[in-house]
Amino acid sequence: MSNVHPSAVVAAGAVIPESCTVGPYCTIGPEVVLGEGCALISHVVLDGRTRIGAKNTIYPFTSIGVAPQDLKYAGEPTLTEIGDHNTIRECITISRGTDKGGGVTRVGSHNLLMAYVHIGHDSTVGSHCILANAATLAGHVTIEDYASLGAFSPVHQFCTIGQYAFIGGGTIVTQDVLPFSLTSSRRENKAFGINKVGLARRGFSPERLATLQKAFRLLLAAKMNTSQAVGKIRELKSDDATILAEFIEKSQRGVIK
């Protein structure tokens, strides 16, 4: 136990191999079992009947095996199971299962779970998956192997995301996602003109604002393609117009207009 920081609280009964590192202010419950070579960076909470495999790295402020966010849960001795070689980043929550939902929340091996991911009770995440920042799984969700879930994407209860699927960021998943698919919500983003109020607060003169409004009209409202509009914007002969034109010309992914 030489690799357990003095500030960590480890309950009697917890199984922690000497190859593990438990950082400052971690809390480990009495029914937690860690595999070889795990690293708890700091401020990690492991609770309930939790089984974690080998060589997992768990970052600060993550809670695993905590009671589910289910009003029907009454303290039943349910499980959380996690495989090997997972990277579990900051502020992640993984709830244990419920008695009526199968009793187990499972995460496989070789997954990357980015900050603020939530894995709800009785969910199953396969192996080699990527869940980006703030991806959120409600209870009873299944993520099959090699699937990727984009940032800020919630998944409705009882949905399944098929193997090798890729879900774009900000996509609300309310039905099953086809394996091998690229699935994303529509992006109807549009530029509506200059940020007039914000620019005025930053000290832009009426003349600068008027020039920028002309530039944006050329870009957004005139019947010209982007290259033609950039040429006309450069003819305005102002520093702001030049900045706008150069930004458009340097864009690698295209601009929202």
- Residues annotated as part of the active site: 121-122, 139
Cβ atoms 15, 32 nearer than 8 A: yes
Cβ atoms 114, 133 nearer than 8 A: yes
Strand order in the sheet with 154-155: 9-10, 27-28, 45-46, 63-66, 93-95, 118-119, 136-137, 154-155
Query: What gap in Å lies between CA 55 and CA 90, rounded to an integer?
Result: 17
Query: What gap in Å lies between CA 218 and CA 97, rounded to an integer?
Result: 57
Q: How many CB atoms lie within 10 A of CB 139?
A: 21
- CA dist list (Å): 143 to 79, 85, 198, 210, 252: 18, 18, 43, 52, 32
